[in-house]
Amino acid sequence: MGAASGGGDTTEERAATPAAAAPPPAGDRPPVVQFTNVSKTYANGLTAIRDITFTVDDRSDHGEFVSILGPSGCGKSTILRLIAGLRPQHPATTGTVLVGGKPVDGPGSDRGMVFQDYTAFDHLTVLDNIAFGLECRGVGLKERRDQAREWIGRVGLNVDKDAEKYPHELSGGMRQRVAIARSLILHPRIILMDEPFGALDPGTRYNMQDLLVSLWRHLQATVFFITHSIEEAVYLGDRVFVMSPSPGTILKQVPVPPPDRPAKDMQREPEFLDIVFGLRTALDQLEVAAVAQRAGGKS
């Protein structure tokens, strides 16, 4: 998918540092994310994922969008946590996880995460919630508030009406827009999203999908997106990872057409539905096989 041009701040930064304006050729840059034979077994003995291998290359003009589908408990969230480095004291049990060619040793501002539950600081306004990461970076009050106001508008909220509201005064869709803005204002190279739209009604969900496509094009970031909605996975993704039941492994990687129309239109088209039905059949077969395997283990 062709990426849109970035914002004014990025242009100014490039003008100030000409040497950084021309990134090295793609072949000379390490992959954005690389898993090699990665398995993860927790302290309770549960093996969440087994032998996961994939590569997402670094492209200067197009961040890849990877959707991850699979049964509950198959380790989808474990993959995101390993990329995020949320628990550096508990890395992969075997194999290697590289971000930008380097082992993950903890969280970093190059990775932003958005969860299903509407994470926000209840005592902070919308404006200050969105500006929080910039405050942690030491950005001055005026600058971070100016940037936060810009992002309030960018995620479809009203600067005049919503900036001084508190999270409890917002709808679910509005709170999720705040969570997205708070993460993306830091311009992460990698965006990790764990069922961010799962609790939204269908109409709001379509709108949030279209918003995410627009923001993704603006940031040119790599996105890993977990969802239980096959339609959502196919609409948003450049490719879809289909995972097996626990312990999860990637059974197939399915390339899908990029979103070039509004979600509610594209997701009704016959060609789109053919892809969805094919993936649904594959997932149903996986579930049947998993049930049979569990039944056999009990006999």
The 10s digit of each residue's pLDDT in 161-185 is 999 999 999 998 999 999 999 999 9
Nearest to 49 by CA among 70, 65, 67: 70
Q: Say yes or no: 147 and 270 in one domain.
A: no
Q: What is the pLDDT of residues 9-62, one digit of tens each?
A: 433 333 333 334 445 555 678 999 999 999 999 989 999 999 999 999 987 677
Q: Say yes or no: 196 and 274 in one domain.
A: yes
Q: Say yes or no: 116 and 136 in one domain.
A: yes
Q: Say yes or no: 196 and 94 in one domain.
A: yes
Q: Say yes or no: 74 and 121 in one domain.
A: no
pTM score of the predicted model: 0.85
Tell me the residue range of the domain where 130 lies: 112-187
Q: Say yes or no: 143 and 272 in one domain.
A: no
Q: What is the pLDDT of residues 206-219, one digit of tens each?
A: 999 999 999 999 99
CATH assignment of the domain containing 280: 3.40.50.300
CA distance to 88, 99, 109, 159, 258, per residue, from 29 (Å): 25, 12, 19, 39, 24
Q: Say yes or no: 248 and 146 in one domain.
A: no
Q: Say yes or no: 102 and 235 in one domain.
A: yes
Distance (Å, whole) CA 174 – CA 260: 24
Q: Say yes or no: 44 and 99 in one domain.
A: yes
